[in-house]
């Protein structure tokens, strides 16, 4: 394991992204789900949403809130944009192109999975979302989204989890998220 590179990546994320906790905790959940996770999977976990840190020239092809949660067009754009920033950072660090390619492939599939490592990343992303991002999404009610739209997002993030162990770990987080949402006035 390239601990030095992983630490550099995490430091970069923590310095530039206001929601770095979500990414760091995704890395935690990856290691919880797969204690033998390789460098590519760990780096992909702690960088998968990094494009959101770069507000300048951020122009999603579709609205990213509400009815468009997890729109495939948005997901593709979001993933590809994150790959660009992560690849650039890793190249500056002198990272092997093979590792960059593997990280890029994982980030490109973090929303939907598709093979063992990508599925672990997707599940870890959902676990971290339910652990870290619930309050932020609830705070957007009613200015950016409706209560129903937030519930749809919580449901989606829980229901996309494919691994049995990940689902067991996510269930109490999901229930807690729904309880918090239930306390919000309609």
**Number of neighbouring beta carbons within 10 Å of residue 132:** 18
- Could you report the per-residue pLDDT of 115-148, keeping only the tens digit for each? 999 999 999 999 999 999 999 999 999 999 999 9
- pTM assigned to the model: 0.95
- Could you report the per-residue pLDDT of 98-111, keeping only the tens digit for each? 999 999 999 999 99
Inform me whether the pLDDT recorded for 67 exceeds 70. Answer: no
Assign 62 a pLDDT band (cuts: 50, 70, 90): confident
CA distance 151 to 14: 28
Mean per-residue pLDDT for 58-68? Answer: 78
Assign 64 a pLDDT band (cuts: 50, 70, 90): confident
CA distances from 13 to 10, 18, 33 (A): 5, 9, 22
**Number of neighbouring beta carbons within 10 Å of residue 29:** 24
CA 15, distance to chain mean position in Å, is 17
In this prediction, residue 46 carries a pLDDT of 99
Mean of all residue pLDDT scores within the chain: 96
In this prediction, residue 70 carries a pLDDT of 79
Asked if residue 46 lies in contact with residue 23, where contact means CB atoms within 8 angstroms, the answer is yes
CA distances from 5 to 12, 46, 82, 90, 91 (A): 11, 12, 18, 9, 12
CA distance 121 to 6: 16
What is the crossing angle of helices 20-33 and 116-128, to 10°? 130
CATH topology of domain 3-46+83-182: Hypothetical protein af1432 (1.10.3210)
- Ranges 68-72, 80-84, 118-122, 166-170: which has the least confidence: 68-72
**Number of neighbouring beta carbons within 10 Å of residue 168:** 10
Mean per-residue pLDDT for 154-181? Answer: 98
Asked if residue 24 lies in contact with residue 133, where contact means CB atoms within 8 angstroms, the answer is no
Mean per-residue pLDDT for 57-81? Answer: 85
Inform me whether the pLDDT recorded for 13 exceeds 80. Answer: yes
């Amino acid at each position: 394991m390239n601990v030095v590179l992983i630490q550099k990546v995490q430091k970069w994320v923590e310095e530039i992204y206001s929601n770095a906790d979500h990414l760091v905790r995704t890395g935690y959940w990856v290691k919880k789900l797969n204690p033998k996770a390789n460098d590519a999977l760990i780096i992909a976990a702690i960088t998968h949403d990094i494009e959101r840190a770069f507000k300048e020239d951020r122009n999603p092809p579709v609205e990213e809130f509400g009815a468009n949660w997890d729109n495939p067009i948005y997901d593709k754009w979001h993933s590809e944009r994150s790959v660009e920033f992560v690849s650039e950072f890793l190249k500056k660090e002198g990272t092997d192109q093979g590792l960059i390619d593997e990280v890029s492939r994982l980030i490109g599939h973090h929303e939907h999975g598709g093979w063992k490592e990508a599925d672990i990343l997707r599940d870890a992303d959902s676990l971290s979302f339910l652990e870290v991002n619930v309050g932020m999404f609830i705070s957007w009610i009613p200015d950016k989204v409706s209560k129903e739209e937030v519930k749809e997002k919580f449901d989606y993030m829980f229901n996309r989890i494919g691994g049995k162990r990940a689902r067991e770990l996510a269930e109490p987080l999901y229930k807690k998220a729904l309880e918090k949402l239930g306390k919000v006035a309609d």
